[in-house]
């Protein structure tokens, strides 16, 4: 490993480093070593409890801070099928904290499936709120205020985790992920040239970019956007880089204008599967027995596959794909049948 872990409170959710391994069958299926670069995958789909995912890395530091502040109850927000909400519910159990999930649902009575079922299984309180066109959803804000007041009235201390745990302290999780991966690459004697990942609420992006600077990574970062609104999101990423750097005492600034993400895989929008993403899900399952999810990692992998097919990445390079999790979304009704039909 390069350097030491930051001296900040951390609540452990990962049991050691996630695997970093080759994908030789995928490489072969896409044209073999004469045409396709060496392909590695960083298995953050295996990070943390209750089906895992990238949010576990962020929550280690977020919950570390919450416990240090005496919190007794976690509150977070997300879409009704949020992986982050499910991971927060799981982490709350391990940390001995109460947990309320304020989930935005266009229906009063959303399908009991995927992450929402797991939220209930993990014993979280679920509060459904209606969507809103406003930048700050007033229904969400009202529900949060209500839960905070209730927790305080009962003598507890609420702690609010923002969307995707993409806070400055959550961003530290992906700075640490880079440190872990650099140690693994070093031990394997591999110099990585590119890292592909899904870009959502941007805490992962900010942590990767900051971590690459801090640890002097050899790779360039290739984010693949999974939802529109790039301009505001790259501003958010730049702000997270600045604020997480301040927490870590690192002198790094990355202007929003230097942060780019592939906009070609969004399709009709957030959580709406795309044909290219569904093809990527089939291909990864049938070559490497790796399960991608339709909302995030399928779109990111489709972005990588498109570049490989276009011959845009020289075959003497090494590419790492960061698998950020999300498999519960495969078990929403109709999703796998549609993937199998393609
Ligand atoms: C949340 C999430 C992402 C995106 O991470 P951000 O830090 O929100 O950009 C990617 N993949 C999966 C499976 C996720 O749940």
d(CA 306, CA 275): 12
Nearest alpha carbon, ligand 1 atom 3: 200
122 Cα: distance to centroid of ligand 1 (angstroms): 20
If you average pLDDT over every residue of the chain, what do you get?
97
Angstrom distance (rounded) from CA 199 to CA 300: 8
Q: How far is the CA of 32 from the centre of ligand 1 (A)?
A: 30
- What is the average pLDDT across 231-235? 98
Phi/psi of residue 242, nearest 5 degrees? -60, -50
* In contact, 158 and 73? CB cutoff 8 Å: yes
Which letter, b or e, does each residue of 137-154 get, where b requires 16 or more Cβ atoms within 10 Å of its Cβ? Answer: bebbeebbeebbeebeee
Q: Which atom of ligand 1 is nearest to the CA of 202?
A: 9
Exposed / middle / buried, residue 87 (Cβ in 10 Å: 0-12, 13-18, 19+):
buried
Query: With contact defined as beta carbons under 8 Å apart, do 220 and 261 qualify?
Result: no
Please compute the mean of the pLDDT values over residues 220-227 and round it to a whole number: 98
Return d(Cα 168, Cα 9) in angstroms, integer.
14
Ligand 1 pocket test, candidate residues 55, 177, 292, most atoms within 8 A of CB: 55
pLDDT tens digits, 283-329:
999 999 999 999 999 999 999 999 999 999 999 999 999 999 999 99
Instruction: Look at residues 208, 199, 156, 182 and name the one whose alpha carbon lies nearest to residue 303.
Output: 199
Establish whether 82 is a catalytic residue: yes
Dig out the tokens for 273 from the structure: 């599967």
Q: What is the pLDDT of residue 3?
A: 73
The set of protein residues with a Cβ atom below 6 angstroms from ligand 1 is: 53-54, 83-84, 164, 166, 198-205, 293, 296-297, 324-326
Q: Strand pairing partners for 253?
A: none
What's the CA gap between 342 and 337, in Å, rounded?
Answer: 9
* Distance (Å, whole) CA 312 – CA 227: 24
Write the residue with the smallest CA distance to atom 5 of ligand 1: 200
Rounded to whole angstroms, how far apart are CA atoms 279 and 341? 10
Give me the pLDDT at residue 78, please: 97
Return the pLDDT at 277.
98
Distance 205 CA to ligand 1 centre (A): 9
Residue 2 is predicted with a pLDDT of 54
Q: What confidence score (pLDDT) does residue 5 get?
A: 83
Query: Which of 59, 81, 83 to probe ligand 1 with, by most ligand atoms within 8 A of CB?
Result: 83
In this predicted model, what pLDDT tens digit does every residue of 50-98 receive, in sequence order?
Answer: 999 999 999 999 999 999 999 999 999 999 999 999 999 999 999 999 9
Residue whose Cα lies nearest atom 15 of ligand 1: it is 83
Active-site residue identified among 82, 166, 167, 227? 82
- Confidence at residue 135, expressed as pLDDT on a 0 to 100 scale: 86
Q: How far is the CA of 153 from the centre of ligand 1 (A)?
A: 34
pLDDT, position 152: 98
Rounded CA separation 152/170 (Å): 24
Q: What is the pLDDT of residues 21-55, one digit of tens each?
A: 999 999 999 999 999 999 999 999 999 999 999 99
34 C-alpha to ligand 1 centroid (Å): 33
3-state secondary structure 59-97: HHHHHHHHHHCCCCEEEEEEECCCHHHHHHHHHHHHHCC
3-state secondary structure of 230: helix
Q: Is the pLDDT of residue 108 over 80?
A: yes
Nearest CA residue ID for atom 1, ligand 1:
164
Buried b (16+ CB within 10 A) or exposed e, 155-165: ebebbbbbbbb
Is the model's pLDDT at 1 over the cut of 60? no
Q: Specify the DSSP element, H or E, that contains 45.
A: none
pLDDT (tens digit per residue) in 109-163: 999 999 999 999 999 999 999 999 998 999 999 999 999 999 999 999 999 999 9
The pLDDT value given to residue 209: 98
CA 230 – ligand 1 centroid, Å:
15
Helix (H) or strand (E) run with residue 196 in it:
strand 194-199
> Which atom of ligand 1 is nearest the CA belonging to 297?
11
Strand 220-225 with 20-22, pairing: unpaired
């Amino acid at each position: 490993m390069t350097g030491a872990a930051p001296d900040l409170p951390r609540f452990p959710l990962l049991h050691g480093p996630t695997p970093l391994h080759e994908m030789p069958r995928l490489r072969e299926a896409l044209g073999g070593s004469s045409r396709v670069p060496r392909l590695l995958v960083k298995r953050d789909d295996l990070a943390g409890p209750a089906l895992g995912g990238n949010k576990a890395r962020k929550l280690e530091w977020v919950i570390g801070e919450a416990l240090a502040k005496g919190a007794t109850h976690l509150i977070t927000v997300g879409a009704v099928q949020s992986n982050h909400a499910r991971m927060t519910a799981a982490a709350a159990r391990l940390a001995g904290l109460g947990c309320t999930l304020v989930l935005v649902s266009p229906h009063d009575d959303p399908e009991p499936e995927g992450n929402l079922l797991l939220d209930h299984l993990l014993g979280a309180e679920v509060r459904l709120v209606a969507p809103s066109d406003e930048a700050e959803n007033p229904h969400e804000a009202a529900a949060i205020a209500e839960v905070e007041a209730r927790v305080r009235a009962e003598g507890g201390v609420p702690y609010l985790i923002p969307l995707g745990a993409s806070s400055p302290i959550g961003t530290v999780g992906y700075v640490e992920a880079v440190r872990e991966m650099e140690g693994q690459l070093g031990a394997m004697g591999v110099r990585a040239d590119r890292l592909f990942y899904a870009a959502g609420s941007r805490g992962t992006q900010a942590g990767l970019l900051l971590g690459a600077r801090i640890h002097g990574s050899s790779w360039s970062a290739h984010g693949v956007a999974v939802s529109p609104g790039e301009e505001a999101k790259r501003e958010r990423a730049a702000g997270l880089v600045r604020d997480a750097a301040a927490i870590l005492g690192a002198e790094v600034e990355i202007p929003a204008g230097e942060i780019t993400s592939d906009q070609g895989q969004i399709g009709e929008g957030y959580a709406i599967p795309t044909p290219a993403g569904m093809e990527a899900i089939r291909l990864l399952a049938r070559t490497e027995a790796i399960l991608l999810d339709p909302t995030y990692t399928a779109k990111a992998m489709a972005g990588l596959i498109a570049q490989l097919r276009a011959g845009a990445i020289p075959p003497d390079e090494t590419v790492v794909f960061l698998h950020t999790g999300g498999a519960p979304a495969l078990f929403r009704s109709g999703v796998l049948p549609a993937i199998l039909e393609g």
